């Protein structure tokens, strides 16, 4: 509620300032008796003076402004806001999904790059991020999920970076397909939200996810071909910033945090999978992964 009031004041700040000036001018020209000692400030100018004529004209303009402002609020602003709120309620489930997928992508890169905020990094770290590349090895992560900043659960996630990121990118694309299906509603949404959704859809990083990232990196003679990406840091930082902008809207925020799992956590999780499942052909592969140098 406070955010809505603050947003309304921000949108109407010029009109509010002019309204205050108009009220002052009307009070200044009023012939009503003064009630308090400080009110000579509102004392009406003497008749047949230049000040009197000037304030008379300004009073008329002020009354006209208040009338036009009332008309604008009743006929245009309030109905438009009601339509925007209705459109937002319809879009909410799609925004929840969009934000969740964006957060999963950004949280993964924050984990593997050991950063919390992409907007404030030294040049050395930026260069390190620009040199980022995926490998063909999956990794184990402890994944903690949150709903509106309240922790839900923690679980193990076996994460093949490029594939998972691409899958999330495809899910984002699906969200936009669903939004396009209700384009009549989208037109009624606020211009700020429409602009933000357009920026996310056309972001360079999303294009990288969908068109450049590969589910598996290519190999030559058994050696992985390292593929780096142009403007990786710049595009990733922009994508992270767009996520933060989307978070300003009022809907359920489902987020995750990743951290690399310890060998002990991985072994315990694998043992649990063996107990829970009758068939577990992937277990041997998991053991190979934790015994490799990259997962020690």
pLDDT band with cut points at 50, 70 and 90 for residue 271: confident
Asked if residue 64 is part of any domain, the answer here is: yes
Q: Which neighbouring-strand residues pair with 256?
A: 145
Kindly state whether residue 73 falls inside one of the protein's structural domains. Answer: yes
Q: Which residue has the higher pLDDT, 170 or 296?
A: 170
At 33 the pLDDT is 54
Pairing of strands 139-147, 219-220: unpaired
CA dihedral 244, 249, 252, 254 (to 10 degrees): -10
pLDDT band, very low/low/confident/very high, at 14 (cuts 50, 70, 90): very high
Per-residue confidence band for 228, with pLDDT thresholds at 50, 70 and 90: confident
Residue 22 is assigned to a structural domain of this protein: yes
Q: Quote the pLDDT of residue 40.
A: 54
Mean local confidence (pLDDT), 230-240: 94
How many structural domains compose the chain?
Answer: 1
Residue 274 placed within a domain: no
pTM of the model: 0.79
Assign 35 a pLDDT band (cuts: 50, 70, 90): very low
Q: Does residue 247 fall inside a structural domain? A: no
Does some domain include residue 41? yes
With cut-offs at 50, 70 and 90, classify the pLDDT of residue 122: very high
Cross-strand bridge partners of residue 113: none
Beta bridge partner(s), residue 155: 143
Mean pLDDT over the full length of the chain:
84
How many Cβ atoms are within 10 Å of 201's Cβ, its own excluded? Answer: 16
Residue 23 maps to a domain: yes
Question: Over 80: is that where the pLDDT of 219 sits?
Answer: no
Whether residue 37 has pLDDT greater than 50:
no
In this predicted structure, the answer to whether residue 108 has a pLDDT above a threshold of 50 is yes
Among the listed residues 253, 249, 255, 244, the one whose alpha carbon sits nearest the alpha carbon of residue 88: 249
Share of the chain above pLDDT 70, in %: 82
pLDDT, residue 288, reads 62
For residue 43, the enclosing domain spans 2-78
254: in domain: no
* pLDDT at residue 1, rounded to an integer: 62
Residue that wins the pLDDT comparison between 224 and 116: 116
The residue that leads in pLDDT, 25 or 112, is 112
Decide if pLDDT at 293 tops 50: no
């Amino acid at each position: 509620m406070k955010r809505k009031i603050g947003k309304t004041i921000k949108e109407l700040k010029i009109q509010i300032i002019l309204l205050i000036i108009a009220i002052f001018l009307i009070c200044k020209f009023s012939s009503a008796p003064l009630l308090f000692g400080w009110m000579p400030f509102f004392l009406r100018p003497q008749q047949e003076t230049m000040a009197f004529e000037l304030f008379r004209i300004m009073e008329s303009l002020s009354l006209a402004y208040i009338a036009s402002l009332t008309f604008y609020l009743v006929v245009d602003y309030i109905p438009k806001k009601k339509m925007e709120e209705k459109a937002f309620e319809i879009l909410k489930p799609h925004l929840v999904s969009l934000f969740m997928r964006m957060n999963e992508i950004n949280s993964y890169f924050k984990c593997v790059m050991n950063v919390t905020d992409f907007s404030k990094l030294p040049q050395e770290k930026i260069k390190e991020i620009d040199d980022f590349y995926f490998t063909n090895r999956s990794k184990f992560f402890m994944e903690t999920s949150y709903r509106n900043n309240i922790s839900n659960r923690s679980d193990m996630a076996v994460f093949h970076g490029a594939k998972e990121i691409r899958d999330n990118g495809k899910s984002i694309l699906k969200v936009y397909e669903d939004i396009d299906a209700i384009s009549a509603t989208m037109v009624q949404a606020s211009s700020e939200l429409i602009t933000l959704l357009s920026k996310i859809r056309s972001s360079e990083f999303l294009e990288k996810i969908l068109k450049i990232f590969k589910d598996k990196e290519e190999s030559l003679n058994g050696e992985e071909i390292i593929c780096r990406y142009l403007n990786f840091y710049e595009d990733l930082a922009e994508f992270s910033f767009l996520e933060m902008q989307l978070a300003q809207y009022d809907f359920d925020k489902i987020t995750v945090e990743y951290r690399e799992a310890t060998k002990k956590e991985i072994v315990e999780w694998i043992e649990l999978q063996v107990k829970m499942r009758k068939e577990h052909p992937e277990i041997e592969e998991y053991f190979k992964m934790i015994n490799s140098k990259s997962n020690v």
